[in-house]
C-alpha cells in the first residue's frame, strides 16, 4: 500500500473540502493541523482547487493534501503540479487510474459495485473510495461488498457524519472515512475557522472514544497485591478477581504483583482504535515505549506512553 494511504489509515478521517476562494486555503489547513488532523481532500468542483492545494502544500509541507472529484487527466495533472499527494475520483475512470499509476501518483478511484472493485484489482490497486456510501446502502452494503475482496481497503465517502462514522470505521476493510461535516463549504466561505477546528477536534475525539478503564497500583509481590485487594474489597464490597500478573477489584482497580511502568502505577485509558490514537498523540509530541506494545494479528492492542503524570504511567489499550 502507498505510504500516503498508510498515513490516511492512521488519520481515520479525511476532511473533504470545497473551497471557492484560495484565500481561505491556508487558514483552513491551519485549523485542521491545529486540531490534530493534517489531512484534507480539496475537490475540483471549483476553479480555486489547484491554487488552494498549492497554497496549503507551501504553508504546511508535512500535510497530506489530496485532490478530489478529479474527472479528467488534465485535472490530475493540475493537481500534481500543485503538489497534491493523492488523487480521488468519484468513479472508476481507467484513463485517470492508468495516468496516475504511470505517474507514480497515488489514486483512490470511486467504486460502487463488485465489477468496479474487480476493475480496481486488475489495475493493481489495494485501496479505493466507496461512493456514494450512504446512498449506495451504507455500512451493510459495504460489509457485503468487501467480503469477497479481503485485501481491498475502502474509504467510504458520501453521507458520512459524526453519527455514523464509528460504524464505518469498525469495519476491518475501511481504511478511513471521507466527510465534509467538519469543513462545510458555508463555514469555509464565512471564514469560521475556529468552528472548523472545534468540529474537527470533536470528530477525532468521537472516533477515539477515550475513557478511563482502570487505575493500576504497583505492588512488589503477589502477597502485597492480594492484601491490598482484600482491604479494598472489604471497604467497598467489590468482587476480587486474581490473574497472572495482578488482582482486580471490581473492574476499575488493579493491584499488580510486580512493578509495572509508572512510579506508583498506571492509568489505563481505553480507545476504539489504539493505533490511530497512538499516531494522533505522537503528532502532538508525545512518545511511547515500543517495548510495552502488545499486538494481535498485526493490530496494536495496548502500549504505554513514556510520560508519567503524578507518578502514574499512561496505558493506552483497546476498548
Say yes or no: 108 and 42 in one domain: yes
CATH code where residue 240 lies: 3.10.180.10
Reply yes or no on whether the pLDDT at 259 is more than 90: yes
Compute the distance between CA of residue 76 and CA of residue 132 in angstroms, rounded to an integer.
Answer: 21
Give the pLDDT score at 315. 97
Say yes or no: 18 and 73 in one domain: yes
Sort residue 255 into left (φ over 0), alpha (ψ -120 to 50) or beta: beta
The domain of 30 spans 3-207
Contact, 135 vs 159, CB < 8 A?
A: yes
Mean pLDDT on 245-269: 97
Give the pLDDT score at 117. 98
The answer to pTM > 0.75 is yes
Last residue of a domain, one of 207, 230, 257: 207
Say yes or no: 198 and 287 in one domain: no
Say yes or no: 60 and 13 in one domain: yes
Say yes or no: 200 and 263 in one domain: no
Reply yes or no on whether the pLDDT at 86 is more than 90: yes
Domain count, the chain: 2
Compute the distance between CA of residue 32 and CA of residue 14 in angstroms, rounded to an integer.
Answer: 10
Q: How many DSSP H helices and E strands does the chain contain?
A: 13, 17
Say yes or no: 231 and 87 in one domain: no
Compute the distance between CA of residue 23 and CA of residue 37 in angstroms, rounded to an integer.
Answer: 20
Say yes or no: 222 and 202 in one domain: no
Last residue of a domain, one of 190, 207, 224: 207
Give the pLDDT score at 150. 87
Mean pLDDT on 110-139: 97
Give the three cell numbers for residue 167: 460504524
Mean pLDDT on 80-91: 98
CATH code where residue 176 lies: 3.20.20.70
Compute the distance between CA of residue 20 and CA of residue 233 in angstroms, rounded to an integer.
Answer: 62
Let me know the angle formed at the C-alpha of 268 by 10 and 271, rounded to the nearest 5 degrees. Answer: 30
Give the pLDDT score at 49. 98
Say yes or no: 71 and 180 in one domain: yes
The per-residue pLDDT for range 217-240, each reduced to its tens digit, is 999 999 999 999 999 999 999 999
The per-residue pLDDT for range 27-67, each reduced to its tens digit, is 999 999 999 999 999 999 999 999 999 999 999 999 999 99
Say yes or no: 250 and 115 in one domain: no
Say yes or no: 173 and 273 in one domain: no
The per-residue pLDDT for range 143-157, each reduced to its tens digit, is 999 999 989 999 999
Say yes or no: 137 and 275 in one domain: no
Last residue of a domain, one of 207, 232, 267: 207
Active site residues per annotation:
41, 129
Say yes or no: 15 and 148 in one domain: yes
Amino acid at each position: 500500500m502507498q505510504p500516503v494511504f498508510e498515513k490516511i489509515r492512521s488519520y481515520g478521517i479525511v476532511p473533504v473540502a470545497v473551497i471557492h476562494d484560495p484565500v481561505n486555503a491556508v487558514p483552513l489547513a491551519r485549523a485542521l493541523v491545529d486540531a490534530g488532523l493534517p489531512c484534507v481532500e480539496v475537490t475540483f468542483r471549483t476553479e480555486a482547487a489547484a491554487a488552494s492545494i498549492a497554497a496549503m502544500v507551501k504553508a504546511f509541507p508535512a500535510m497530506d493534501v489530496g485532490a478530489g472529484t478529479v474527472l479528467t487527466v488534465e485535472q490530475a495533472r493540475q493537481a500534481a503540479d500543485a503538489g497534491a499527494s493523492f488523487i480521488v475520483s468519484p468513479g472508476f475512470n481507467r484513463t485517470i487510474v492508468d495516468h496516475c499509476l504511470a505517474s507514480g501518483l497515488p489514486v483512490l478511484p470511486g467504486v460502487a459495485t463488485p465489477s468496479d472493485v474487480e476493475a480496481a484489482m486488475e489495475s493493481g490497486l489495494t485501496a479505493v473510495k466507496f461512493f456514494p456510501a450512504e446512498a449506495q446502502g451504507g455500512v451493510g452494503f459495504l460489509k457485503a461488498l468487501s467480503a469477497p475482496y479481503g485485501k481491498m481497503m475502502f474509504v467510504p465517502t458520501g453521507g458520512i457524519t459524526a453519527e455514523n462514522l464509528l460504524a464505518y470505521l469498525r469495519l476491518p476493510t475501511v481504511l478511513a472515512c471521507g466527510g465534509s461535516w467538519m469543513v462545510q463549504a458555508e463555514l469555509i466561505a464565512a471564514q469560521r475557522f475556529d468552528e472548523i477546528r472545534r468540529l474537527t477536534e470533536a470528530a477525532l475525539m468521537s472516533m477515539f472514544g477515550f475513557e478511563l478503564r482502570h487505575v493500576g497500583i504497583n505492588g512488589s509481590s503477589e502477597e502485597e497485591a492480594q492484601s491490598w485487594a482484600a482491604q479494598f474489597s472489604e471497604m467497598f464490597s467489590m468482587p476480587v478477581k486474581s490473574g497472572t500478573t495482578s488482582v482486580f477489584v471490581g473492574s476499575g482497580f488493579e493491584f499488580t504483583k510486580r512493578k509495572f511502568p509508572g512510579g506508583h502505577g498506571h492509568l489505563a485509558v481505553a480507545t476504539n482504535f489504539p493505533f490511530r490514537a497512538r499516531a494522533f498523540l505522537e503528532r502532538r509530541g508525545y512518545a511511547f515505549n515500543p517495548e510495552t506494545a502488545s499486538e494481535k494479528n498485526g493490530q496494536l492492542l495496548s502500549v504505554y506512553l513514556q510520560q508519567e503524570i503524578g507518578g502514574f504511567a499512561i496505558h493506552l489499550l483497546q476498548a
